[in-house]
Amino acid sequence: MAGVTLDKTPQLLFFLAVVAHPGTEDAKVHNLVLTQEEDSYDKRLAELDLQARAIEGGEMHIVIAGDHSAAYAAALQGGTSEELLDQWLGQIGA
C-alpha cells in the first residue's frame, strides 16, 4: 500500500511588474502585482502601463514565479523566461 502524501506540485503565479532599467545595476522595481482576478486584469494592466510610462526607463513586464521573492528577482532582470511561461500556461490548461 502506497503512503499518503500532502506534497503538491508547486504552483506558479502570474505577476505584472513595473521596473526601471531592468537587467542593469540601476534596476529598480516600482510595482509588483500578483494578478489573480481576470475581471480586474485589463484595468490593472492599463494602470501599470501608465505608471511605466511615467517613470524614466520604466517598463512593464510579465513575471511568472513561485512566490513574491522570486518574482521580484525576475522583475529586476526584466521579466520571466519562456520556459516558466510555458510551465504556467500548462498549469492553467492553456
Comparing 94 with 50, which gets the higher pLDDT?
A: 50
pLDDT bin (cut points 50, 70, 90) of residue 7 is: low
Q: Does residue 13 contact residue 64 with C-beta atoms inside 8 Å?
A: yes
- Comparison of pLDDT for 84 and 2, the residue scoring more: 84
- What's the pLDDT tens digit per position in 29-53? 999 999 876 667 888 899 999 999 9
The answer to whether residues 71 and 61 touch, using CB atoms and an 8 Å cutoff, is no
pLDDT at 4: 61
- Whole-structure pTM value: 0.83
Contact predicate 22/11, CB 8 Å: no
